[in-house]
Structure formats: structure tokens, C-alpha cells
């Protein structure tokens, strides 16, 4: 059996809008192996969540998708609605940004997790026992009590734990975690990261971690992909990318990170604005903000170059600035 679980090949996603199409994702390719944590990093609106929704086949009807999404060798784009429904939860689970939006307010959290468990033919009583086991495994305080609680009676960190319990209840091979620590304090964030790492080590679960937080990436990820305006500009082993970022955008992001310097020190910013994605034209999308940009950057798509077997980037001149 191949170690590769998910592969995206030249994935592009456009949304039909009033004056044409909005290019949300452009020619994105990467793979995720079994049992690895693969982080997708970028600013809000760069296409991270759109890619996740395309894998789950949850995009709006006005979305136009091209390219291939291969899961365990099968093209998810070619699956029927019945087939993709079976894949969701059983083979691929997803934790959304706001768990309160994903939980039903009129049912207890334990009941909702049990509903997922019973999809595999487990009785309600045995399913409830598994709910308590799952709550213990994710370090839920007082699991018996919390299983009988409604979503609004729980903190944000507890609700996120409920979503994790629900998603791992059917032992999916791939778990997509979309900003799983958003709006959580640093203590709860650390606990959620510990649970994610535990899934990898104990169950060999592959995890696609979507975030804008480089600190999370450094803490738990094996490999990382950097996105800008719908394009994947650099990807590689976490240590390689952090040690030697190549693409100008990656380097500027690294310089913009808060560091243990003087309290009044100014953080570096990236000048300019993200281009309008309704204007589909060739060239690097970072060109209007790039300090190394030249004429070719605005009218010709950069090729993919390799730094090593595991580290690639897309830029015409990036290595000149290294």
C-alpha cells in the first residue's frame, strides 16, 4: 500500500460572480502522506479553506473546479453524491473554524457524537459508552457530565474537543483541521495541539492543518505549504522552510513574526494590497508587492523550482535574494 493518501494536481477553483469569475485557487498541487501533519499557511482569503471544502465536495454551486483531487487513488471529483457522502466522516473528517456553527443547539453534545458512531451499525448504548471513552481520550473535563451538556453550556475549547471527538469517532484516515485553535487562549490552544499530535502518533491519522499561525506550524507540522492569493508559492519540510525560506513572500512573512525583541520595536509589514482575483491574467500574483519584482513577473507565470527533494517554490528570481 502506498504511503500517499491525498494528492491534489493542478487544482483551480473559480467562483461565478456578477462581472465574470473570481479565481480563488490557481494551479495548486501537493500531496499528504499517511500519518503526517501537513500545514497550509496563508493570510485570510488566500484559498486555504476553499481547498479544504473542495476536498470534502462542500463548495457552493457557483464554484467551477478543475484539476484532480485523488484520495487513496480515487478521484473525488468523479464520485457520485452517494459515494462522497460515504467518504465524509468515514474516510475524511473535517473540523471547522467555529464549532458552535457545526453543532446542533437542541441536542446534547454526547447525543450528536453518538449519532456519528451509530452510522457504523453500533447500538445506541454501546455508542454512548464510546462517547465517554472518546471524551476521556481528548481530555474532556468530567466527560459524563459534558456528554449531557448542550453546546451553549460549554466553553469554546470544550466545543472544539467535541468536534474532534465527533470527527475521530469513525477513525478517518484524513482529518482536515480548519483553524482549530481560533479564538482559544494559549493554554487551551496547547491542549488542542497535543490532541492533534496524539492522533498522528496513536492512530496514524493524516492531518491537514489550515492556519495563519506560524507558531502552530513550527510546533506540530511535518511539512508546510505557503499560499498567497490562491497560489501555492512554497512548500517543503517545516525545518527546511523555516531555516531557509526562498520565496519573497515567505521571507517577508517570517520577518513579520513577533519576536522577543524590545517592547516598542515595530513589526515589519508587507506593503501593497492583494490583487483583484477577478482579473485573470498571467504573472506572479505577488508581483505588485514584491521587492524583487521585474517586468517578467507581471506577465509570465513563474515555474516551480526545487531547492531539495522536499522543498519547492514558484518564483522567477527568489534565489537571487537568498
CATH number at residue 232: 3.40.50.300
Residue 45 is part of which domain span?
A: 1-85+208-258+272-322
Say if 240 falls within a structural domain: yes
Virtual torsion, Cα 14, 15, 16, 18, nearest 10 deg: -120
Say if 102 falls within a structural domain: no
Domains of the chain: total: 1
Say if 113 falls within a structural domain: no
> What is the residue-wise DSSP string for 169-230?
TT--SEEEEESTTTT--HHHHHHHHHHHHHHHHHH--EEEEEES-HHHHHHH-SEEEEEETT
* pLDDT computed for residue 278 by the predictor: 78
Say if 281 falls within a structural domain: yes
* pLDDT computed for residue 50 by the predictor: 95
Low-confidence ranges of the chain (pLDDT < 70): 1, 259-265, 279, 318-322
Say if 61 falls within a structural domain: yes
Nearest Cα neighbor of 120 from 165, 71, 164, 169 is: 169
Say if 188 falls within a structural domain: no
Say if 128 falls within a structural domain: no
Say if 143 falls within a structural domain: no
Q: What are the distances in angstroms from CA 249 to CA 1, 49, 241, 293, 311?
A: 37, 20, 12, 11, 15
* pLDDT computed for residue 246 by the predictor: 94
* pLDDT computed for residue 97 by the predictor: 80
Amino acid at each position: 500500500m502506498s504511503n500517499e493518501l491525498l494528492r491534489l494536481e493542478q487544482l483551480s477553483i473559480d467562483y461565478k460572480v456578477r462581472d465574470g469569475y473570481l479565481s480563488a485557487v490557481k494551479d495548486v498541487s501537493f500531496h499528504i502522506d499517511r500519518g503526517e501533519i501537513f500545514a497550509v499557511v496563508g493570510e485570510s482569503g488566500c484559498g486555504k479553506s476553499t481547498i479544504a471544502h473542495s476536498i470534502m465536495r462542500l463548495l457552493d454551486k457557483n464554484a467551477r473546479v478543475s484539476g484532480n483531487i485523488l484520495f487513496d487513488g480515487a478521484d473525488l471529483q468523479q464520485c457520485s453524491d452517494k459515494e462522497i457522502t460515504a467518504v465524509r466522516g468515514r474516510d475524511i473528517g473535517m473540523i471547522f473554524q467555529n464549532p458552535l456553527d457545526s453543532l446542533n443547539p437542541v441536542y446534547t453534545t454526547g447525543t450528536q457524537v453518538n449519532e456519528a458512531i451509530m452510522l457504523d451499525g453500533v447500538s445506541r448504548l454501546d455508542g454512548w459508552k464510546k462517547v465517554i471513552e472518546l471524551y476521556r481520550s481528548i481530555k474532556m473535563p468530567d466527560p459524563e457530565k459534558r456528554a449531557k451538556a448542550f453546546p451553549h453550556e460549554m466553553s469554546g475549547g470544550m466545543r472544539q474537543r467535541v468536534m474532534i471527538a465527533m470527527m475521530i469517532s469513525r477513525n478517518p484516515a484524513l482529518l482536515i483541521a480548519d483553524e482549530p485553535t481560533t479564538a482559544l487562549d494559549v493554554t487551551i490552544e496547547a491542549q488542542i495541539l497535543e490532541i492533534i499530535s496524539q492522533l498522528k502518533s496513536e492512530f496514524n491519522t493524516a492531518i491537514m492543518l489550515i492556519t495563519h499561525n506560524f507558531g502552530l506550524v513550527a510546533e506540530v507540522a511535518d511539512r508546510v505549504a505557503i499560499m498567497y492569493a490562491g497560489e501555492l508559492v512554497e512548500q517543503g519540510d517545516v525545518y527546511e522552510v523555516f531555516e531557509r525560506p526562498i520565496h519573497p513572500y515567505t521571507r517577508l512573512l517570517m520577518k513579520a513574526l513577533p519576536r522577543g525583541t524590545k517592547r516598542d520595536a515595530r513589526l515589519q509589514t508587507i506593503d501593497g494590497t492583494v490583487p483583484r482575483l477577478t482579473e485573470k491574467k498571467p504573472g506572479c500574483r505577488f508581483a505588485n508587492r514584491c521587492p524583487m519584482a521585474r517586468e517578467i513577473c507581471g506577465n509570465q507565470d513563474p515555474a516551480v523550482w526545487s531547492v531539495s527533494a522536499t522543498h519547492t517554490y514558484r518564483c522567477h528570481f527568489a534565489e537571487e535574494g537568498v
